[in-house]
């Protein structure tokens, strides 16, 4: 069994925040892949289903971001899972918008949701880093991540979420390369190879003008003299 966790903050006030892209991702998986309706459990909301051959539990902690580990730890212990069975999807300010990266283990890089999960289950879980961009200055980060995505972000955001859903079975199976390919096919689909330039028909060659008769016209006297030759 796999536990796939999306990080965010509960409530309509935060629903479209950059910090909530993890919630958005598991919502899309649940909707597209036929999971059960969301129900309250483990200090969060859960949805159950299958991705390929794997039984999967989706979890949205509702403890607020800074205490996400409480919910994740409770669910992991209930199902007797190890950190290797846990995959966390979260916002990443150190990646440009629409960039997605996957890693197994590692530090929390100052992300408060990951910091809390580290404290409750350790660091050896997988995480999907979802780029949302950086505001430019460190002091602007809290307001930036707690602000809604701009309208200009809607297209790439939808592509990323669809790509995550497309590759969810590969993600659950641990095939991160195949998962990333699924995301890339949505975010940066290959250009068609049938884009040959149309043939341009050449204009028909112009006919050379007929040569003009340049001989001077004969005088009446010349014409008369020719009669007697």
Active site residue 147: no
Pairwise CA distance, residues 189 & 182, whole Å: 10
Of 31, 17, 3, 8, nearest in space to 150 by CA: 17
Task: Pick the catalytic residue from 19, 90, 111, 118.
Answer: 19
CB-side neighbour CA atoms (13 Å) of 84: 2
Residues tagged active-site? 19
């Amino acid at each position: 069994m796999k536990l796939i966790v999306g990080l965010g903050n509960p409530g309509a006030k935060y629903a479209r925040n950059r910090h909530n892209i993890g919630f958005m991702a598991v919502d899309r998986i649940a909707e597209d892949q036929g999971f059960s309706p969301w129900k309250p459990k483990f200090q969060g909301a859960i949805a159950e289903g299958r991705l390929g051959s794997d039984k999967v539990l989706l979890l949205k902690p509702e403890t607020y971001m800074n205490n996400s580990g409480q919910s994740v730890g409770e669910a992991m212990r209930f199902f007797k899972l190890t950190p290797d069975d846990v995959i966390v999807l979260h916002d990443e300010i150190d990646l440009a918008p629409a960039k997605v990266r996957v890693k197994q283990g590692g530090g929390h890089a100052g992300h408060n949701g990951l910091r809390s999960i580290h404290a409750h289950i350790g660091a050896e879980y997988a995480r999907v880093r979802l780029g949302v961009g950086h505001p430019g200055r460190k002091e602007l980060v809290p307001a930036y991540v707690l602000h809604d995505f701009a309208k200009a972000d809607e297209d790439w955001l939808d592509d990323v979420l669809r790509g995550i859903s497309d590759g969810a079975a590969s993600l659950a199976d641990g095939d991160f390369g195949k998962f990333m390919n699924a995301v890339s096919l949505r975010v940066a689909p290959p250009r068609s190879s049938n884009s040959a330039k149309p043939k341009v028909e050449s204009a028909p060659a112009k006919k050379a003008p007929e040569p003009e008769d340049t001989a001077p016209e004969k005088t009446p006297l010349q014409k008369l003299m020719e009669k007697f030759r």
